[in-house]
Amino acid sequence: MLNHYYVRLIHDNIEKRYKQCRAMHIMVCFFLFFLIVQTAFSQSGLDITFFMLVIPTLMIAFVALINSKNLRHSYNNSIFRIIEIGLLLSGAEFFKTQHNWMIAFLFVMIAIFIGVIGWMEFRIFNKQFIDFFDKQIIIPQALFNHKKNWADIHHVIIINNYITIEYKNNTFFQHQVYDSFTDIERINFYNFCEQCIQRNS
């Protein structure tokens, strides 16, 4: 019998996530355009402004507004998030040199926020699996994986493409999954779960 099983999660709100992702890119562009206007009226050279700020910002705006399907690929989206974080931190440095400490702090906070959002998007837009090991169950969440010991588990069942993990404290976890088990694999999976529960009870 195998000592590792897994089922792939289905995110039923993925389209909503994609729309939120696009909206966040557009929001960042507003801050970057504000930065471009400020640098244009500063003593900085316009050539630096154009190549370091204008081109990447216009590229992000174009993709978010016109070609947002590219953002559905987690790696493409992550690249744009990294560019945005770099530009926002550059903006924070610029406002720091201008002694606009509050705006500099705001840009740092936005960069951190976008970093967290980017990490969540990378996890959600990629395939996520619930892993069943002989020692514990690992359930992916938006920011990190949640580990549950078999000692806390009362029952595990998959019905109608939904997995339900029932805990001994009368709570449960339920999520839609791709049920790709064959009849034999399903029997082996249930036997595996039962043995793990009994072994740790």
pLDDT in tens, 108-155: 999 999 999 999 999 999 889 999 998 899 999 888 999 999 999 999
Higher pLDDT, 42 or 153: 153
Domain range spanning residue 185? Answer: 128-199
- C-alpha–C-alpha distance, residues 47 and 96, integer Å: 21
DSSP secondary structure letters along 60-98: HHHHHHT-GGGGGSHHHHHHHHHHHHHHHHHHHHHHHHT
Do residue 51 and residue 101 come from a single domain? Answer: yes
Are residues 44 and 95 both part of a single domain? Answer: yes
CATH number for 165? 2.30.29.30
Burial (Cβ within 10 Å: 0-12, 13-18, ≥19) of residue 121? buried
Residues 109 and 134 in one domain: no
Give the global pTM. Answer: 0.84
pLDDT at position 47 over 60? no
Helix, strand, coil proportions of the chain in percent (round to 5)? Answer: 60, 20, 20
What is the domain count for the chain?
A: 2
Query: Is the same domain home to 79 and 108?
Result: yes
Find out whether 122 and 82 touch, Cβ atoms under 8 Å.
no
What's the confidence (pLDDT) of residue 180?
84
CA distance 39 to 77: 27
